[in-house]
Structure 1
């Protein structure tokens, strides 16, 4: 965004100096193996990649338990995923609590209506 003093403080971006992010998007042709239309539809209608991998990890852990074969890397992976889920859930709760506090201050009637709607 440009402000009144942008002329004196320009922002330069050099190659490979921007934000780093990776899109996992099956619609991008050529970026994945398989048929992108099928991949997109499976992800949209059946299950996300995380859900699919979660089922595979659950099966591996069940197989590990039934055969008494230790799979420490799989167990560590599952534990790591669960830890991230717990952290994210807590962050979401904190964010919701802060938003509700702000709503209660700004619009007490709206807050009461929202809380009553959630309870019913």
Structure 2
């Protein structure tokens, strides 16, 4: 009796189960108002990552120059998240492990380490 190589492997996409990553690929260029300008900017000036990196760098310097207490709590939290992202990008570039993104993730990581290494 012959065997079949048929493999049933359906892709099921439940509501809200799709990718949550942003498309930063060349296909994004074709959604731009002027694709040719977008292509030239990416080739001749800077990638999206470099553009966002420079904006983040400047924004963090501006925030650092503000007097303490000028930002509301929500903005302070968002700036903190941006700092963690910038630090994690630096760590990835230097082939280091990234930091937790939130305080909850940091606490969970510490708890895991304490379970693994009870003496610390």
Normalized against structure 2, the TM-score is what?
Answer: 0.49
Task: Indicate the structure with greater helix content.
Answer: 1
Normalized against structure 1, the TM-score is what?
Answer: 0.49
Higher Rg: 1
Q: More relative contact order in 1 or in 2 (CA 8 Å, sep 6+)?
A: 2
